[in-house]
Structure 1
Amino acid sequence: MTSPDTCPRLSVALVSEHASPLAVLGGVDAGGQNVHVARLAGALADRGHRVTVYTRRDSAEPPDEVVLRPGVRVRHVPAGPPRHVPKDALLPYMPAFGDFLAAQWRDRAPDVVHSHFWMSGLAALRATRELGLPLAHTYHALGTVKRRHQRDSDTSPRSRVTDETAVGEGCHRVIATCRDEVTELGRMGITASKIDVVPCGVDTARFTPDGPAADHGTRRPLLLQLGRLVPRKGAEVSIAALARLPEAQLVIAGGPPADRTDQDPEIRRLRGLARAAGVADRVSFTGGVRCEDVPQLLRAADVVLCPADYEPFGIVPLEAMACGTPVVATAVGGQLDTVSDPDCGRLVPPRDPAALARAVGELLRDGAVRAACGAAGRRRVLARYGWEQVAAGTEAVYLGVLSPRPAAVTEVV
């Protein structure tokens, strides 16, 4: 990889149609992709690049352009109504999004465009084809995987898989975030020679074992599940496992703002499951969490639970490991790469409360094992998943797009 001192300074356009780097985490459409785009933008700026993030305007309030930090601007794109629209309903607005990008770039084109999520890829492909600009693409999640797991409950547009394939075929490079994704892309017909693997990352200066920990007012062993509050994330599995862990307390962080948790359908459903399992007094819901509050939540936990049915990558395990907190996660997607079992935590089958409870119980019973897992997790993150490393790997892909090289699947980080 090139060093920041020898790499040419690039103008980089990150396209993230629904996942704004300014969003509060934990909402139904606000999670790992928001974090990834924000941190990648910042890390690229630290390497001397000028970054603009293009995201759809979903409110009339913010200005057209916001400076996120030195070297990073967020540009709100007028595509569709200036209010929240569920991401699965955004497809009709992607032509307008792409046309806006093309209009912006005709006079001042970026050196490279990097789209995030398939609809961003459609918009970016529309603009880059017209202007002849290089395009890299990160999927973050694949329609084929979602359809396989959610079946009739999948609300994605019918054309998603076809459109995702078109983006993969039309862009110059695909940046996969884990090895499992390379396999899935191959099943879609995306040639392996077009794929680089660069994982998501974590801010190792913010997510550390040292610092304040949240006070949840309990002396019980504390379990934490953090992230978007949607069924596939497996909160109901955590609640069912809690019934087998009579000494533990479970905090579920994510969802709507704290003052609206009582009205949220998913939280009401989960509370009903907790009552039926006899653990309602040991489960609490914080609502959506501000980025700056996440590290202290993770430090307060004895074990972090990541029991998703499927997980394209999974930022939360990395953040927990960076904070020195052991993780019990399902053996799916990116978690197969990030959570080293038994060194940093445990991997269990999805939708298996008994297996989840056994793994958590083993960690709760032995403080020395928990401490060892936490320390190993921190070392693993520092060795592989710091944003400086991820940005360097992403930069290498950009330079390869700008100066074509012999094609081969590479794991950049």
Structure 2
Amino acid sequence: MATDPPANLKKLAHIHLGVDGGAERFLVRLSGALARKGVDQIAFIRKDRPWRDELAQHCEVRELKFSRSHLKRHFVRWGISRQIRAFGATATLGWMSPASKWLPRPGPSMRTFLRLGDWPDGFHTYGNVEDLIGNTPEIVRQAVEMGWPEARAHVISNFVDPLPAEPGPVSRADHDTPENATVLIHLGRFVERKRFDLAIRTVARLPGHVHAWLIGDGDLLDDMKALAKAEGVESRVHFLGWQRDPAPFLKAADILLCPTDAEPLGNIVLEGWNAGLPVVATASPGPSWLIDDGKNGLLSPCGDAEALAASIGRVLGSQELRSTLARGGQAKLSEHYSEAGVVAAYDKLLGGPART
């Protein structure tokens, strides 16, 4: 039986200051996949993160208080650097721009990388960053346009874990949803660019059997509840809170909705394909890069509730289209966003020789 070749990368340090979201879930997935290839890892994170125990299953975890004080920051960074070098890491991977200020200085025995899952907002804290990794071409393009060296910018996208058999789908009755309803599902933080407001306005333009499950939390949650009431769809729009494991909800839904305006990637598109759902999205940068319109999803103009409702109507009216989009999404996920391919790309880049 053929076996995977051993990893080029031997020891990797992660620095991640996030709370709970897509980047955090991907850290857990990537570190697990690298561990299965034999990569020894250590992670520096904030205290009391809800995903800490999952990460600790395959990565040594050290919880720190990342001080905002300019003076204390130097001591914290020095402490992280000392621990990374004592661990023997040959590469350090920072996750998102806030991690850049904590990266140790690179050298002949240890390289430094910063992974971006969002648009770059300047490089003033990137002094110890050797290479950038963007999870879409658009992120890398913007970084290069802003002055980052093109030779030190790389595109490596995400992968998602196969849906486990257990737990099974959630009960619709437990969430006040009729069994015969068509359920749209949208996941993310309740912030402006995720356009939960557009999802609600779209439901208001669809037949009464269409319900929406909105999964997440954030500053705009109360505003969205008020909007659902104002639009007359509060009985059909269900706010299900932040879910550590959204898989049982995806299994019970019918259509994945991605109505965002400024989405760099759209990890929820991958989640929808993974669950075998047809995906209906707006044409923000990430979904436009992922989706081949009509083959593995439908795209409509950003911010246009009428057009988004029309796309959903097409799916509701054609079982053949629904099946085509679902099959096409799973095929593209398998071909371009597999764990094996993404992990191999990280291993090749992070395990490569030091810059001279």
TM-score (norm 1): 0.77
CA 1:201–1:215 in 2, change beyond 3 Å: closer, same or farther? same
Instruction: Tell me by how many angstroms 1:103 deviates.
Output: 2.7
Tell me how far 1:200 sits from its aligned partner.
Answer: 1.1
**Pairwise mapping of residues 343-354 of structure 1 onto structure 2 (< 5 A)?**
343-354=295-306
What is the aligned counterpart of 2:21 among 25, 31, 37?
31
**Shift of the alpha carbon at 1:74?**
2.1
Match in the other structure for 1:53? 43
Task: State the match for 1:397 in structure 2.
Answer: 349
For 1:326, the equivalent position in structure 2 comes to 278
Q: Tell me which of 149, 156, 171 is aligned to 1:215.
A: 171
Structure 1: stretches of 5+ with no match in the other structure: 20-29, 81-88, 145-160, 257-264, 406-413
The 3 A distance-change label for structure 1 pair 73 and 205 is farther
- Contact conserved, 2:8 with 2:348, CA < 8 A, in 1? no
1:280 alignment partner, SS class: coil
Matched AA of 1:251: W
Asked whether the 8 Å contact 1:244–1:357 carries over to 2, the reply is yes
CA 255–131 in structure 1, closer or farther in 2 if over 3 Å, else same: farther
Q: Determine helix, strand or coil for the equivalent of 1:313.
A: coil
Q: RMSD value over aligned CA atoms?
A: 2.7
Which residue in 2 is equivalent to 1:27?
Answer: none
Describe the shift of the 1:131–1:399 C-alpha distance in structure 2 as closer, same or farther (beyond 3 A): closer
Give the 5 Å matches for 1:2-17.
4-8=4-8, 10-17=10-17
Residue 86 (structure 1) aligns with:
none
- Identity across matched positions, percent: 24
Say whether the 8 Å CA contact 1:178–1:313 is kept in structure 2. Answer: yes
State whether residues 4 and 48 of structure 1, in contact with CA within 8 Å, keep that contact through their aligned partners in structure 2. Answer: no
- Equivalent AA in structure 2 for residue 140 of structure 1: G
Letter in 2 for 1:254: G
Q: Which residue of the partner structure matches residue 102 of structure 1?
A: 81
Counterpart AA for 1:268: D
Q: Is structure 2 residue 141 aligned with structure 1 residue 183?
A: yes
Q: Deviations over 1:163-202 (max 9, x none)?
A: 2xx52x7422211111111221122111222112110111
Contact 1:39 1:387 in 2 (8 A): no
How far residue 404 of structure 1 moved from its aligned partner, in angstroms, is 4.8
**Does structure 1 residue 249 correspond to structure 2 residue 236?**
no
Residue-by-residue CA offset, 1:128-164 (whole Å, 9 max, x unaligned) = 24897310111221254xxxxxxxxxxxxxxxx242x
- Hey, what's the Cα distance between the residues in 2 that align with 1:188 and 1:319? 31
Is the contact made by 2:106 and 2:112 (CA closer than 8 Å) also made in structure 1? no
Task: Tell whether 2:115 aligns with 1:133.
Answer: no
| Among 139, 150, 165, the residue aligned to 1:192 | 150
* Partner Cα separation in structure 2 for residue 139 and residue 379 of structure 1: 26
User: Conserved in 2, the CA contact under 8 Å of 1:42 and 1:69?
Assistant: no
User: Residue 298 in 1 paired to residue 279 in 2?
Assistant: no
Matched, 1:267 2:225: no
What SS does the aligned partner of 1:76 have?
A: strand
> Is the 1:228–1:255 contact (alpha carbons within 8 Å) kept by the matching residues of 2?
yes
**1:403 positional shift:** 4.8
CA distance 1:7–1:271, change in 2 (3 Å):
closer
* Equivalent residue, structure 2, for 1:74: 61
Report if the CA contact (8 A) 2:9-2:350 is conserved: no
Segments of structure 2 that go 5 or more residues without pairing to the other structure are: none
1:238 to 187, 196, 199: 199
Give the aligned residue type for 1:176.
Answer: G
- Asked if structure 2 preserves the Cα contact closer than 8 Å seen for 1:343 and 1:376, the reply is yes
Change (3 A) 1:5 1:105: same
Could you tell me whether the CA contact under 8 Å between 1:225 and 1:253 is conserved in 2? yes
Call closer, same or farther: CA 1:192–1:91 in 2, change over 3 Å. Answer: farther
**Structure 2 Cα separation of the partners of residues 18 and 95 of structure 1:** 20
1:288 to 242, 263, 285: 242
Quote how far apart the aligned CAs of 1:231 are: 2.2
Contact 1:326 1:370 in 2 (8 A): yes
What residue number does 1:277 align with?
Answer: 231
Q: 1:94 to 1:394 in 2, by over 3 A?
A: farther
Distance 1:299 1:94 in 2: 44
Cα distance in 2 between the residues matched to 1:300 and 1:190: 44
